[in-house]
Homo-oligomer: A and B are copies of this chain.
């Protein structure tokens, strides 16, 4: 069932597919940790994806997920464009697992983020918003029934030389 059963070639193929899916996605479900009870908390976010599998988020200081990340950086991001369709469970999705860190220099991603999300122009300069970068430590990729695997960080990097 796992990709490792298919050897290194199978894993490289999965890594390539996962990075392609991630690169094409403007949105995902962020999972963070609620500070009081430690429960994992899912919320919807717009994203800017980077070629190495990292994802950039632009978060309001009032949002629950931002408070959660400031208390504990552990996070994941599920990307599955077909979530709303009836056959979603047979369609590819990827979960980036890692830690999110605040990006101090807003200029680093400002233009690229607005290119991906033109509507963000309305709040891109709000002082209480901030960029966060989810650094991918590994990715769970599910191509469909029976074809899936964990992709380690080095395989993500290798996919984009």
Contact = CB atoms under 8 A, between A and B. Distances in A.
A140 B34 CA distance: 12
Interface stretch (A6-14, A75-83, A105-113, A153-161): A75-83
Interface string A31-70: 1111001111111101000000000000000101000000
Contact of A29 (B33, B42, B46, B86): B42
Chain copies in complex: 2
Contacts of A29: 29, 42, 78, 80, 83
Contacts of A75: 39-40
Which of A37, A81, A82 is packed against the most chain B CB atoms within 10 Å? A37
A132 B78 CA distance: 21
Contacts of A140: 41, 43, 64
A33 to B, nearest CB: 6
A24 interface: no
A127 interface: no
Given A29-B29, A62-B1, A39 B97 contact: yes
Given A27-B88, A83-B27, A42 B74 contact: no
21 contacts: A31-B39, A31-B42, A33-B38, A37-B97, A39-B74, A39-B76, A40-B74, A41-B76, A41-B95, A42-B42, A42-B76, A44-B78, A44-B80, A44-B83, A44-B88, A44-B89, A44-B93, A44-B142, A46-B89, A81-B84, A83-B84
